Amino acid sequence: MPSFTLACPGLARLPLLLASLLIAIPVAASGTAAPATVAALRCEYQTNPLGLDARRPRLSWQLRATARDVMQTAYQIQVAGSKADLEQGRNLLWDTGEVTSDQSVHVPYAGPPLQSGQRYWWRVRVWTGDDIPSTWSEPAFWEMGLLEPSDWQAQWIEPDVEEDVSTSAPAPMLRRTFWVEGEVVRARAYVTSHGLYELHLNGRRVGDQVFTPGWTSYHHQLQVQTYDVTDLLQDGPNAVGAILGDGWYRGQIGFRGQRNFYGNRLALLAQLVITYADGRTEVIGTDSHWRATNDGPIRMSDIYNGEVYDARREFPGWSTTGFDDSGWAGVRIADHGTDHLVAPAGPSVRRVEEIRPIALLTSPAGETIIDMGQNMVGWVRLRVSGPAGTTITLRHAEVLDQEGNLYTENLRAARQTVQYTLRGDGEEIYEPHFTFQGFRYVAVEGFPGTPTLDAFTGIVIHSDMAQTGHFRTSNPLVNQLQHNIRWGQKGNFLDVPTDCPQRDERLGWTGDAQVFCRTAAFNYDVAGFFTKWLADLAFDQYDSGSIPHVIPNVLATDGQGAAGAAGWADAGVLIPWDLYLVYGDRLLLERQYPGMTAWVGYMQRRAGDDLIWDGDPHFGDWLAFNTTRSDYPGATTSKDFIATAFYAYSAALTARAADVLGKPEDAAHYRRLSERIKQAFRQEFVTPNGRVGENTQTAYALALAFDLLPEALRQQAADRLAEDVRRFGHLTTGFLGTPHLNHVLTRFGYTDLAYALLLRETYPSWLYPVTQGATTIWERWDGLRPDGSFQDPGMNSFNHYAYGAVGDWMYRVMAGLDTDPERPGYKHVLIAPRPGGGFTEVEARLETLYGTTGSAWTWHDDTFSLTVTVPPNTTATVRLPGAAPDQVQVDGRPLVGADGVHDAGADGTDTVVQIGSGMYRFSYPMVSDE
| Active site residues per annotation | 505, 779
What is the C-alpha to C-alpha distance for residues 350 and 742, in angstroms, rounded to an integer?
35
Render 477-521 in DSSP notation, one character per residue: HHHHHHHHHHHHHHHHEESEE-S-SSSS----BHHHHHHHHHHHH
Helices 510-523 + 527-540 axis angle, to 10: 160
d(CA 294, CA 244): 10
Nearest 5°: the CA angle 546, 551, 557 is 70
The answer to whether the Cα torsion of 826, 828, 834, 839 is positive or negative is positive
* Residues in Cβ contact with 388 at an 8 Å cutoff, skipping those fewer than 6 apart: 312, 422, 423, 424, 425
Alpha carbons 663 and 416: distance in angstroms, whole number? 50
Burial class (CB in 10 A: 0-12, 13-18, 19+), 280: exposed
Give yes or no for a contact between 306 and 420, defined as CB atoms under 8 angstroms apart. no
Q: Are 393 and 446 in contact (CB under 8 A)?
A: yes
**SS3 readout for 429-460:** EECCCCCCEEEEEEEEECCCCCCCHHHEEEEE
Cβ atoms of 737 and 702 closer than 8 Å: yes
Question: If 0-12 CB within 10 Å is exposed, 13-18 middle and 19+ buried, where does residue 628 land?
Answer: exposed
Element (H, E) at 904: strand 901-907
Can you spell out the DSSP letters for 760-825? Answer: --SSSSSHHHHHTT-SS--SSTTSB-TTS-B--GGG--S--GGGGGHHHHIIIIIS-EEEBTTBTT
Integer angstrom CA distances of residue 486 from 20, 469, 820: 20, 10, 24
- Contacts of residue 23, Cβ cutoff 8 Å, sequence gap at least 6: none
Write the DSSP symbol of residue 231: G
What backbone phi and psi angles, to 5 degrees, belong to 546?
Answer: -65, 145
